[in-house]
Amino acid sequence: MNSTLNESKLDTCLDHLGRLMEYPHAGFNDLVDVGQRLVIGAGQARFREFADGILELTPDEREELYTSTFDVTPACVPYLGIHLFGEESFKRGEFMAALNARFAAAGRDAGIELPDHLANVLQYAATAEERRELVQFCLLGPLGKMIRALNEINPYRALLEVILATLQEAYPGLEAPLSPLEQMQRGGIGCAVVSAGCGSCGSVAGEPVTTMPQPVAQVPNPNLTCIV
């Protein structure tokens, strides 16, 4: 991990960025103000752009922008499981169930949102032992897709870019593999590399699951295995 962003600083930053990804509520302005002091490095300038753009809106306008950005734009849905597995895939259900189990073990609650919502996963990643795997297999790829789906003038694009820059600064050189959905779209591959760090394999650790007789794709940690 990059020494310029220590573990404690990253913990606090990810938790805060996760809270900013929630539906805007009372106290949102205070969250933005604190964020301007927390975010450092490559994401700092983009956070200022996010703050400038979002704070000039009224509370009603903010709520409308959030809804139109994340509920109306299909390519920018905040649910990581959709980006990884597809909306109708039963593997997304397994992914969410495993995330819920990990949240419970960590004393967390997904609240009113589904467990694979970006806000939930960021806040869990703030203290998760398997954070590096979460970043590589569950966050980097979907964040890139969400960013590309939004217009430059949308303040939430700037926030997503801040999150991505923060993760890239913490783990320089880390790259996302093709998601299971991308692998299936490109070649009909039956088994994709998904880390148990995503919460995707907690219930089937040591039992690779495939829908086709394909070799099991292993992640670097031998204790982690894949699901389709």
Mean pLDDT of the chain: 83
Q: Check residue 157 and give its pLDDT.
A: 98
Q: What is the pTM of this model?
A: 0.82
- DSSP state string for 102-140: HHHHTT---TTS-TTBHHHHHHHHTT-TTHHHHIIIIIH
Q: Does the pLDDT at position 225 exceed 50?
A: no
d(CA 75, CA 26): 28
141-195 residue pLDDT tens: 999 999 999 999 999 999 999 999 999 999 999 999 999 999 988 875 544 444 4
Q: Does the pLDDT at position 222 exceed 70?
A: no
The two structure tokens encoding residue 153: 């003038």
Q: What does R_g of the chain's alpha carbons equal in angstroms?
A: 17
82-130 residue pLDDT tens: 999 998 889 999 999 999 999 999 999 888 999 999 999 999 999 999 9
Question: Is 153 exposed, middle or buried, given 0-12, 13-18 or 19+ CB atoms closer than 10 A?
Answer: exposed
Q: Check residue 5 and give its pLDDT.
A: 64
Q: What percent of the chain has pLDDT over 70?
A: 80
What sections of 39-117 are H helices per DSSP? 44-55, 59-70, 80-85, 90-105
DSSP annotation of 22 reads S
35-68 residue pLDDT tens: 999 998 889 999 999 999 999 999 999 999 999 9
Residue closest to 118 by CA, chosen among 82, 73, 64: 82
- What are the residue ranges spanned by the domains of the chain? 7-78+117-176
Q: Does the pLDDT at position 196 exceed 50?
A: no
